[in-house]
Each structure stands twice: as C-alpha cells, then as structure tokens.
Amino acid sequence: MEIYRAHVLVCGGTGCSSSGSATLIERFNEKIAENGLEKEVKVIRTGCFGLCEAGPVVIVYPDGTFYSRVKPENVDEIVTEHLLKGRKVEHLVYTDHATHEQDANKALDDITFYKYQKRIALRNCGVIDPENIDEYLAMDGYLALEKALTKMTREEVIDEILKSGLRGRGGGGFPTGLKWKFTYNSVSDQKYVACNADEGDPGAFMDRSILEGDPHAIIEAMAIAGYAIGASEGYIYVRAEYPIAVKRLTVAIKQAEEYGLLGDNIFGTDFSFRLFIRLGAGAFVCGEETALMHSIEGKRGEPTTRPPFPAVKGLFAKPTMLNNVETYANVAQIILHGADWYNSMGTEKSKGTKVFALGGKINNTGLVEVPMGTTLRTIIYDIGGGCPNGKKFKAVQTGGPSGGCLPESLLDTPVDYDNLIAAGSMMGSGGMIVMDEDNCMVDIARFYLDFIVDESCGKCTPCRVGTKRMLEILNRIVNGKGKEGDIEKLEELAQTIKSTALCGLGQTAPNPVLSTLHFFRDEYEAHIKEKRCPAHHCKALLQYVITDKCRGCTACARVCPAQAITGEVKKQHVIDPDKCRKCGACMEKCRFGAITKM
Amino acid sequence: MDQSKEKFAQLQELIDSHKGQKGALMPVLQGAQGIFGCVSEDVQKFIAEGLGVTLSEVYGVATFYAQFSLHPKGEYLISVCLGTACYVKGSQSVLDKLSEVLEIPVGGTTPDGKFTLEATRCLGACGLAPVMMINGEVYGRLTPDAVPGIIAKYKAKD
C-alpha cells in the first residue's frame, strides 16, 4: 500500500461541486505534480462536509487545516506554502462565525459549527473517498454486516434495532425495529428491502449528501436488513435530480459485488443479496411508501390505501421493508456498537441523532447532525450563526410541506419527534428553513400550497380539489383581495382535507397554513382587513416611496424599467404608483437609502 | 430520416435489454427521453409494442412524471429552483427576470428552440440558494442582475 505524508481532502458534494471544487482538484493535482510531490501528497475528493456556506471546502491532513471558499488561484499558494514548506496559509483558513478567529491550529471539532454536533449518519461524509470501497472498509466498513451474518441470528439483529429506539428518519418517526419485525413475521417465498432516496421535501438534502458521501453505508445496512427480514433482493429508489448520488451508488454497488459483499453466499454464509437502483422521474408523491413502490413497478406513482401495509403486501405484491436513507445510515453503527450505545443519546422517546439541513435566512447554511433533544436555538444560533445582515428572526419552518412554521417564542423547544408535533410542526425529513422579518408568512403558506397543488397526484378529491380551493383563497389574500371570512374558510377546508385525504401527502398538506394561522394570524388579518403586508413582501400590497433623503441623483429614474420615476436633477424624485411595477430596481440602485417600502 | 432510424434502433436495443425485467417501463421511458429529448406519441407507441403493454399504460406513466415531456425541449434547459430555501432567498425574482430576458413564460421554449425555461423543485443545493441549473451546470448565489450575463454567455455559444 502506498503511504502519503499528507492528504488534501476536497469536498465533492453538490454544494461545493457547484462552487467549482472539480477545478480545484485538477489544479491541486497539477501543482502537486509540478512541485514533484505526487508521491508524498494525495488529493481525495470526499462527500459533503456540511458547511456548504464556506464552500468549496479543503482540508489538509495530518494538520487538519480547514480552508474555506478556496478559489483556483489560491491552490498554488496552498501547495507551495503548506504542502511544500509546511507553512499554513493563514489568510485562507476558515473564520469561525462565533469567535471571528482565523485559527489555523484549531481542531475541526473545536470550530463552533462542529462543536455541538455528533456525526453518526454523516460519520464518513467529507472524510473518505466515496468511490473507493477500501476507504470505507478502513472505517470499520462492512464489519457490522460480518457481525450480523456470522455472530447474530436474524432475531437478534431485529432485537438490537428495536432496543436502539431508532425511528424512521424520513419524517414519520415509526419505530424502525417494529417495521423490520413485521416484515420478518410475514411468510412469503420472496421479500424485498427497499430504500427511499426520493428526497422530495424542498430544503432537505441530507439523503443526497449521505448517498454522495458514504454510499457503502446504505448498501451495508440494506444487506443487514435483508438478512434480518429474509429478503434476497433490494431496491434503492433515487431521485433523478441527484445525478452524482446515482453515479456513486452505482460505483459502490459494483465494488461491493467485486468484493463479494453483495451477491451469493456473503461471508461464506448461505445468505445471498442483490441490490438494484431505480430512478424517480420527478414526482413528490413518490416519497409516500405505496406510491414509491408503484413507481418501482413501472406504474404511475399513485398511493393506495393501507392496510395492507407493505410489510404484508408491498413491492410486486410481496412483503417489503422500506426505510429512508438516513435511517439506514445509522444501522451499521448500531449493530457494531450496540443498542445501548445508541439509545444513550437523545430524548426519552427519540433516540440517537438527527441530521438537519439548515437553509434560508441563516449564516451557516449546510448540514448538521445533532443529538435528539438539542434546542432549536442551539441549532439556529450557536451552530447556524443566526440571520444574516442583522435581520430579525421571524420563524423556522420544519417538516417541509407537511410541517409548520415555529416562532421565536418556541426556540427553546428541544427537538424531537414528539416535541415538534406538540409545538404544531413536525420533524419531517429534517429540512430547517429560517425566515427573517422580510418573509411574509402568508406568502410562505401560499408557496407550500402551490407546491402541493402542483404535486398532488389527483387520485383523491380532498387533496386534488381541496388544496386548490385553499390556494385560490391564499392567492386572493396576498393579492390584496382577501375577504372577511377567508380565514374561517381556510380553517374549514384544512380540517376536512386533514381528515379525509387518502395518503400522508394530502393529510398533512394543510399544515403550513394551519401553523402560520396559529402563530402569525395577525399577518393574515393585516392582509385582509388593512390591505397591508407587514413584511413588505407582497407586491400588490406594497408601495415604493422616495423620502426626503433623496439627493436627486437621477440614478433611480434611469434604472426604472417602467419610467415611473420623475423629478428634476438635485431635487427629490417621485414614483408614480400607477406606473410602478414594484420590481425594486430603484431601491437597489439608490446609494442614499432614500427609497423605502410601505 | 436516417437519424431518426438510428434513434429508434437505439430504443429497440434499450427495450431488448429491459424486456422481461420487473418494472421495465420507467427505465425504458427514461432512456427514451434521453435519446429523443422527449417521448412523443410515436415513441410511446413503439415502447408499448416493444414491451407488450398498452399504449394507455405508457401514456399514463409518461404524463404522470414531471421528467417526461411529450414535446421537444430547447437546446438549453434552464431550471430555476423554487424549493423553499431558494424561494425565501428570492428565486422567484430570478425566475421572473429570466422570463423577461428570454421573453417566454415559465414552461415555454424560445421560438429558435434554444432555451426552455422551467421552475423546478429543490435541487438539493440549498447551501448556495438561490440556484438554477442550465443543462446540469449549477449556478448559485444568484441575483436577478446576474441573469442577462449568464444568458448572453449561452447565446454566444454558436
């Protein structure tokens, strides 16, 4: 085996790839060769390291120096200074958002963003090369599969998962071990294991990062599940929108087959297991388990009523055990370290850790994994660094289109499945979108309803027609045409849809409206009664006005696409509200802060 | 004509490799979308015959999923992310600007067949919000101001 004195880890996750990390890798390899270091330094493309905001991220080991927002032109300096002469390039080192320090000697775990985290599902993301099975093996990879196959009975494996307290990470929170047990109990000539990687919840990308950063963890867990429930085949259903994830999974499955970790008689036992990938084709409802299985079968992805549950009759009418990517990512670790290790973390009813995708109006966008029970405040402020540009926090949305918006007063809620439901939202898959004072909560509710109307499969009437009527009312309200009684109508429709829709998508569709009505009713009322949008977001309800700070520089008049601004040079200008298209171009252009929204 | 023959031969190969496989329709449609750029009626008929399923079943699946299109799309497919993280950071105004610059509505294709403008759900690049993707290339941290420059780059490409 070749031994290198230093490793350069470049993030190859979707975020950093989009910020140009592939060019960085090329440049590093070129410069390393130019300096004759190719036998001493190795460049590795890893999966996502979580801190997308600081991307592209480069970490140099053995020092553990964390460089952020690295540009191709910085590579030369890192190679000639750090790698050749051993002098860390201080000015490129990541600046800690809390301490404002740029400390090249600080250990990664001490950086504020990582300090509160506990990485189990993400343990290998950003650490290993996801396309190299040897690196996974070196991180105790496939040891859990070996342990399960050679030292544990099928019942013991299921018991261990049950005892760990692991619950479904896709959003429902159903005890994973129970699901395994039910499928184990079903008698059939053929059973299936399936993985839900159809991460459709907008704003959540943990499944993507796990598949891109640690695909073998999912393969290993599915094989363990196959052994436990008695399945010889498994299907991974991935969104077509995730090309990198699909590619790395394909590579990983091939490598596992070559190593005999998938296929016939794994580890010399009589257990055989094969995995297949199926691609989604852009339908949110396919995240629902029955719809997903129909889609794998090559049909329209419409849900069907349960029972029968998939554990009895699922894919191709055989008993099927479907888990989410993040759920699987915990399995090998539980088998390896034991249920007691896992259930020592978390809260009474929610064990272990949860990955959250931080996005929206927050300084440190990215992926974080924290023990269950961590408060929203810790996640948003200590780890996320709060709202940018000194804006005031308004709400955090969790649970995607099935969840809700929680206000400032609930920030000290310890996050777990039950607490979030009690607070009026839900865990969902773990998207966490922060909103500040500039976001209109009525418009956010409208946004989610618009999403649902678009994605409703149309099979049941409450979801197909009901959500559309709700959207019409919300459109009316944000356009300044809201009427007395609209709020009550929304509530009535919401309750009806909740209790009568066919699947989880429809039953939870009204949640964003209900939660915003509960916590931000005053905003709805301002829109309807006063024809005013408190956040100055809704175009129909807002006016741009030039104040006496105006110096008459004419910049705004020149940039206005509607010629709505008039005035003499060096005198205060005026906006004609009838001509104004409310594009905001004038406000961006004004150097004196003289244009405000009313 | 020859080109179309070649494409159908490719499709036939694809059908042969999936025939008899469980749930073959989806991968075949996905392949066809890649080969032809859309799954028009004649392509659907060909698939129905090839796989031995009814045309209505093929049509049902082809129209259910957003990825399949019955009409050809432009040379450059612009997908603006309207996922939540992008939306709260103003991706709607980026989409509006594109619509204005290209002079087509969302979902439309320019008369020269060069650009198709689409709104898409989360691309999973929330860390760079707001984002858009042009033929697989992701543009992040966008502002409406950046739009004309990016479009000009693609217009100049031939």
Q: What is the bridge-based pairing of β-strands A595-597 and A544-546?
A: antiparallel
Residue A347 has pLDDT above 90, yes or no: yes
Say if residue A160's pLDDT is above 80.
yes
DSSP alpha helices (H): ranges in A456-572? Answer: 461, 467-478, 486-500, 504-508, 511-519, 521-529, 555-559
For residue A178, pLDDT over 70 is answered with: yes
In this complex, which of B26, B60, B122 lies closest to A203 when CB atoms are compared? B122
Instruction: Say what the pLDDT of residue B137 is.
Output: 84
Overall average pLDDT of the A276-281 stretch: 94
**Cα A588 from Cα B88, distance rounded (Å):** 18
Q: Decide if A299 and B128 are in contact by the 8 Å CB cutoff.
A: no
Contacting residues of A for B65, CB less than 8 Å apart: 280-283, 301
pLDDT of A311 > 80? The answer is yes
Task: Report pLDDT digits (tens) over A367-393.
Answer: 999 999 999 999 999 999 999 999 999
- Mark yes or no for CB contact B129/A281 under 8 Å: no
Please give the pLDDT value at position A107. 83
Does residue B92 belong to any structural domain of this protein? yes
pLDDT over threshold 70, residue B2: no
Option in B88, B120, B125 nearest A435 (CB): B88
pLDDT at A511: 95
Q: Which of B13, B34, B64 is the last residue of a domain?
A: B64
pLDDT at A240: 86
Q: Is residue B70 part of a domain?
A: no
Whether residue B114 lies inside any domain: the answer is yes
Give the closest-approach CA distance of B94 to chain A in angstroms. 11
- The yes-or-no verdict on residue A598 having pLDDT over 90 is no
User: What is the DSSP secondary structure assignment for residue A375, as one 8-state letter?
Assistant: B
What band does A469 get if pLDDT is binned at 50, 70 and 90? very high
Give the Cα-Cα-Cα angle A461, A474, A171 (nearest 5 degrees).
60
Q: Which structure tokens are listed for B89?
A: 């950071």
Same domain, residue pair B107 and B151 = yes
CA separation for the pair A226, A184 (Å, rounded)? 10
Gap between the Cα atoms of A565 and A547, Å rounded: 13
Return the residue of B nearest to A279 by Cα.
B27
Which residues of chain A have a CB within 8 Å of the CB of B128? Answer: 15, 18-19, 52, 55, 365
pLDDT of residue A1 exceeding 80, the answer is no
User: Same domain for B45 and B22?
Assistant: yes
Q: Copy the structure tokens of residue A561.
A: 């696409």
- φ/ψ (deg, to 5) at B66: -65, -25
Res B15 pLDDT > 80: yes
Binary contact (B87, A15; C-beta < 8 A): no
Query: Does residue B49 sit in the same domain as residue B109?
Result: no
Residues of B in contact with A15 (CB under 8 A): 125, 127-128, 140
pLDDT at A170 over 60: yes
pLDDT in tens, A488-523: 999 999 999 999 999 989 999 999 999 999 999 999
Helix (H, G, I), strand (E, B) or coil at B146: helix
Residue pair A239/A197 in contact by the 8 Å Cβ criterion: yes
Report the pLDDT averaged over residues A274-286.
93
C-alpha R_g of chain B:
18
User: Which domains, and CATH codes, for chain A?
Assistant: 6-109 (3.40.30.10), 133-342 (3.40.50.11540), 353-436 (3.10.20.600), 441-529 (1.20.1440.230), 543-597 (3.30.70.20)
Three-state SS at A163: helix
Do both B20 and B58 map to the same domain?
yes
Q: Which chain B residue's Cα is nearest to A399? A: B84
Q: Are B87 and B110 found together in one domain?
A: yes
Contacting residues of B for A297, CB less than 8 Å apart:
22-23
- What's the rounded mean pLDDT across residues A61-71? 93
Q: What percent of chain A has pLDDT over 70?
A: 100
- For residue A363, give both structure tokens: 């300084």
pLDDT digits (tens, 9 = 90+) for A473-483: 999 999 999 99
Residue A180: enclosing H or E segment and its boundaries?
helix A176-185
- Looking at the fold, whether B99 and B134 belong to one and the same domain comes out as yes
Q: How far apart are CA A297 and CA B82, in angstroms?
A: 29
Residue A242 pLDDT > 90: no
**Are B54 and B100 in a shared domain?**
no
Tell me A561's DSSP state. T
Backbone angles phi, psi at A327, to 5 degrees: -60, -50
Q: How far, in Å, CA of A592 to CA of A121, rounded?
A: 49
Given this model, what pLDDT does residue A113 score? 93
pLDDT on residue A52: 87
In a shared domain, residues B82 and B14: no
User: Which residue, of B31, B64, B97, is where some domain finishes?
Assistant: B64
Domain boundaries, position B86: 76-155
List of chain B residues whose C-beta atoms are within 8 Å of the C-beta of residue A298: 22-27, 61
Q: Do B22 and B82 belong to one domain? A: no
Chain A residue whose CA is closest to B82: A202
Please answer yes or no on whether B22 and A297 come within 8 Å at the CB atom: yes
Provide the mean pLDDT of chain A.
Answer: 94
Give the one of A14, A18, A360 whose C-beta lies nearest to B89's C-beta: A360
Please indicate, yes or no, whether residues B52 and B23 belong to a single structural domain of this protein: yes
Residue B69 lies in a domain: no
Mean pLDDT for the stretch of residues B35-44: 94
Confidence (pLDDT) at A175: 97
Give this complex's ipTM. Answer: 0.89
The pLDDT of B110-137, averaged and rounded, is: 89
Looking at the 3D structure of chain B, how many domains does it have?
2
Q: Is residue B71 part of a domain?
A: no
> Residue B128 is part of a domain; what is its CATH number?
3.40.30.10
User: Cβ–Cβ of A242/B124 closer than 8 Å?
Assistant: yes
Quickly state the pLDDT bin for A162 (edges 50, 70, 90).
very high
CA distances from A512 to A385, A409, A474, B105 (A): 25, 18, 12, 28
> Is residue B79 over pLDDT 60?
yes
Q: Could you give the CA distance from residue A17 to residue A14 in angstroms, rounded to a whole number?
A: 5
Question: pLDDT > 90: what percent of chain A?
Answer: 85
For residue range A191-227, list pLDDT tens digits in order. 999 999 999 888 889 999 999 999 999 999 999 999 9
Whether B16 maps to a domain, the answer reads: yes
Pairing of strands A233-238, A192-197: parallel
CB contact under 8 A, B84 and A241: no
Identify whether the C-beta of residue A388 lies closer than 8 Å to the C-beta of residue A367.
Answer: no
Contact A14 B124 (CB under 8 A): yes
Cα A144 to Cα A157: distance, rounded to the nearest angstrom: 10
Residue B87 and residue B16 share a domain: no
Cβ–Cβ of B127/A447 closer than 8 Å?
A: no
Query: Do both B7 and B47 map to the same domain?
Result: yes
The H or E element that residue A209 is part of is: helix A206-213
Task: Tell me the chain B residues in contact with residue A447 when contact means C-beta distances shorter than 8 Å.
Answer: 84, 87
- Tokens representing residue A204 in the block: 């959540």
Quick check: A433 and B88 CB within 8 A? yes
